[in-house]
Amino acid sequence: MIDQLAEIKARALKDLAAADDAEATEAWRVAYLGKKGQLTTVLRQLGALPPAERPLVGQKANEVKVALELALAARLEVERRVALRRAAEAERVDVTLPGRQPSLGQVHPTTRVLKEVLDSFAAMGFQVAEGPDVEWDYYNFEALNIPKDHPARDMWDTFYVQSKGRPGEILLRTHTSPNQVRVMEKVRPPVRVVVPGRVYRYEATDATHESEFFQVEGLAVDKNVTMADLKGVLSAFAREMFGAERKVRFRCDYFPFVEPGVEMAISCFQCGGVGCRLCGNGWLEIMGAGMVHPKVLAGVGYDPSVYSGFAFGIGVERIAILKYGIDDIRLFYANDLRFLRQFK
C-alpha cells in the first residue's frame, strides 16, 4: 500500500504539472482528492489493514495528502495571478493615445444673426420679450388696425388652427407685430422692447419665400417720441450690423399699424452704393418701420395725444442673406451640413 501511495503521489504531481488551466486543475482535484478520488479511495482502505501496519501507512497517506494539497494550493495561486494579470491587460488604458474629439455643434446662422440683432438693440436700452407662435386673429390683425375683410389682410395669408369654439380665430402668427399690442397691454410707457420669434406664411416656397422664418419686432413708446428717434435708432442699428460707413434711406411704405410707414434701406455694402448684382440700384431694403398708429395706441388704452412711438420689423434670414451672400432662403431649413458648417 505504501508503494501504491508513492505511485499515486508521483503520478498526481506529474498530472498537476501538466494541467494548464483552471478547468484541468479542478478535474485533477476531483480525480485525486475528491470524495471518490484516488487518494481518498486508498485512505478508506486503511481500516482493513492489520492494526500493526496502520500507523506507518496512515502516516505515509497523510504525508501524501498534505503534499497534494500544498501542490494544489500553489497551483491555484499561480492561476489566480495569471487571471489577475489577464484582467489588468484587458482593461489597460493607453494614456498616451490622443483623445477622441467630441463633435461640437455650432450655432445656426439664423440664431447667430438673431443674437447680433438683439445685442445691438439691447445696447440701446431695449428689453427682449417673447410671445406665442399660435396667435389670436385679434392680436395678429384686428388690434393692428387690420379689420376682417380689409384688403391689407392679403399681405399676410397664414395657416389656421381648427377650433370648435372660435372657428377661424386661431392662427399661426404672420409677423411678430402682435407683440406690440401684447406688450403694451401689460405695461405703461415708457416702452422699449424687441421681440424675436418665428412667423408663418401660407406661401409657395422659392428662393426668396419660406413658409417659416424669423422676425424681430421693435417698439418704443413714450412722450415726445418722433420720427427722428426712429431714424436715429435704426441708423445706429444698421451701421452696427453692416458697417459704420453705411448710408441709410427711408421711403414711404404702407403698413396698417403705422402712420407714416416707411421702408428702410442701406447703401449696398458690396458695391458701396453704385449698383451691383446683390443690390441692383445701390440700396438694400432691410426692414419695415413707422410711427405707431394712433388707433393701435388707443386700442391698448394709451392716449395718442400724450404718447407716441415707433415700431419696426426685421426679417432675420433676410439680414443673414445680405450679410453672408446666401442665395436661397430655403437653405436655412434644409438641414444641409455643408451649408451650416460654413457659419463657425
Nearer to ligand DAH, 16 or 319 (CB): 319
Question: What is the nearest approach in angstroms of ligand DAH to the Cβ of residue 335?
Answer: 25
* 217 forms part of the interface with ligand DAH (CB under 6 A): yes
**With CB under 6 A as the contact rule, which of the stretches 39-47, 69-77, 190-198, 282-290 interacts with ligand DAH?**
282-290
The single residue among 175, 182, 192, 293 that binds ligand DAH, judged by CB under 6 A, is 175
**With CB under 6 A as the contact rule, which of the stretches 22-30, 77-85, 283-291, 325-333 interacts with ligand DAH?**
283-291
Q: Considering only CA atoms, which of 274, 288, 156, 292 is closest in space to residue 221?
A: 292
Sign of CA dihedral 304, 194, 156, 133: negative
Q: Please state, in angstroms and rounded to a whole number, the distance separating the CA atoms of residues 121 and 235.
A: 11
- Render 206-230 in DSSP notation, one character per residue: BTTB-SEEEEEEEEEEETT--HHHH
User: How many C-beta neighbours within 10 Å does residue 119 have?
Assistant: 11
Question: What is the nearest approach in angstroms of ligand DAH to the Cβ of residue 340?
Answer: 26
The single residue among 177, 179, 267, 308 that binds ligand DAH, judged by CB under 6 A, is 177
Confirm whether 108 is a catalytic residue: no
* 135 forms part of the interface with ligand DAH (CB under 6 A): no
Q: Which of 194, 225, 258, 262 is flagged as catalytic? A: 258
Peptide bond just before 190 cis, omega within 30 deg? yes
Confirm whether 330 is a catalytic residue: no
* 290 forms part of the interface with ligand DAH (CB under 6 A): yes
* 299 forms part of the interface with ligand DAH (CB under 6 A): no
Packed helices 22-33 and 2-18: angle between N→C axes, nearest 10 degrees: 170
Q: Please state, in angstroms and rounded to a whole number, the distance separating the CA atoms of residues 229 and 221.
A: 11
Q: Which of 191, 292, 311, 316 is flagged as catalytic? A: 311
User: How many C-beta neighbours within 10 Å does residue 121 have?
Assistant: 24
Residue 138 one-letter amino acid: Y
Q: Please state, in angstroms and rounded to a whole number, the distance separating the CA atoms of residues 189 and 309.
A: 10
Confirm whether 201 is a catalytic residue: yes
Confirm whether 207 is a catalytic residue: no
Question: What is the nearest approach in angstroms of ligand DAH to the Cβ of residue 180?
Answer: 7
Question: What is the nearest approach in angstroms of ligand DAH to the Cβ of residue 106?
Answer: 29
The single residue among 5, 64, 68, 311 that binds ligand DAH, judged by CB under 6 A, is 311
Q: How many CA atoms lie within 13 A of 114 on its CB side?
A: 16
Q: Considering only CA atoms, which of 257, 253, 252 is closest in space to residue 298?
A: 257
DSSP-based three-state secondary structure for 203: coil
* 258 forms part of the interface with ligand DAH (CB under 6 A): yes
Nearest-CB residue for ligand DAH:
313
Confirm whether 156 is a catalytic residue: yes
Strand ranges (DSSP E) for 89-190? 127-128, 134-136, 170-172
Confirm whether 17 is a catalytic residue: no
The residues binding ligand DAH (CB under 6 A) are 175, 177, 217, 255, 258, 261, 288-290, 311-313
Active site residues: 156, 175, 201, 215, 258, 311
